[in-house]
Amino acid sequence: MEDYIQISKINDFVFCPLSLYYHSIYENFSQKVYHASPQTKGKIKHECIDEGRYSTAKKFLQGMDVYSEKYGLCGKIDIYDKESKSLIERKNKVVKIYDGYKFQLYAQYFCLKEMGYEVKEMFIHSLTDNKRYKIELPAEEELMKFEETIFDMRNFNIGKDKIEKNENKCGMCIYRQLCG
């Protein structure tokens, strides 16, 4: 597969395909131009993973590159605990478990499985309040929703595909001024 989808973009796409488009425009700009406070805080808190400073314990794989040929995905995991075989995705503040969060975790799960790692359990960890949410391994219905999302990402056409406006999402979007 030629074009790999970055795992980190799945959550953006589920939030709104246009936010993914605007993000790609701004990628070469300083993040100070377009990041709001929550994005900046999340990036700062994520640095320990990116730099491998989460833990010195050998049981943790941190910020490891992963890929899946089957789904055409690539990216990084946050934490994989080799002893408990747990995959952990860290978010700055979790108020609700959104599909985008789960699909991002599923993508990491499928990558790890394809790379020969066993994953017995998965979690989304909220850094602000130190809460951990167990995410079930994808069953058939969730797998279908995940695969449909990957298909939609691969086939999205900004000029042709209709975008449903959602006032709740649009009001929180860092690109709302560009959307009109």
pLDDT at position 180, please?
Answer: 61
Q: In what helix (H) or strand (E) does residue 157 lie, and over which residues does it extend?
A: none
Residue 54 has a CB neighbour count (10 Å cut-off) of: 19
pTM of the shown model: 0.81
Domain ranges of the chain: 5-179
Percent of the chain with pLDDT over 90: 52
Q: Sorting pLDDT into bands at 50, 70 and 90, what band is 17?
A: confident
pLDDT at 1 (0 to 100): 47
Per-chain mean pLDDT for the chain: 83
What CATH number labels 5-179? 3.90.320.10
Spatial distance between the Cα atoms of 108 and 106, rounded to a whole number of angstroms? 5
Give me the pLDDT at residue 58, please: 79
Please give the order of strands across the beta sheet that includes 79-81: 60-62, 79-81, 86-91, 121-126, 131-135
Kindly tell me the burial class for residue 168, based on how many C-beta atoms sit within 10 Å of its own C-beta (0-12, 13-18, 19 or more): exposed
* Interval 142-152 mean pLDDT: 96
Binned at pLDDT 50, 70 and 90, residue 124 comes out as very high
pLDDT of the residue at 163:
74
